[in-house]
Amino acid sequence: MRDVNGPLSAATIVVALVFAVWFLLRCALNRPPSRFDLLAGLALGALVAVLCLVAVVGLFGDDRPSEVGTFVGYLFTAVAFMPTAVVLARMEPTRWGTLILGVAALVMPVLVLRLQQIASVTGG
């Protein structure tokens, strides 16, 4: 599961944090989510989906995590989290929609870090 702890994870974390700052700044300025914001959220979701695809391929290798069920649960959560936030932000065309995107972008690095932690403990 070394692939989960590589540069793709670092890039996902950095992009998520940059987007989180952007979304929270726009929320503080009382701006509703723009088309760019929604597309940025979807782009972050796509980046996470690629990371999860790499992790799923790694599950078929020799160094599986010891808690495969927990790992798969975090994979499902990570893949579904940003697209769900984009849908909710689209349904809420006020500054609170932008806050939804900001909070979701802040949660994404936590999910990626947790995936890295689980992947680093192999079953032996």
Can you say whether the dihedral through the CA atoms of 18, 22, 27, 28 is positive or negative? Answer: positive
Which tokens hold the place of 80?
A: 């579904």
pTM of the model: 0.90
| Beta-bridge partners for 122 | 65
pLDDT in tens, 67-113: 888 999 999 999 999 999 999 999 999 999 999 999 999 999 999 99
Q: Over range 9-14, report the average pLDDT.
A: 94
Closest to 97 in 3D by CA, of 38, 33, 3: 33
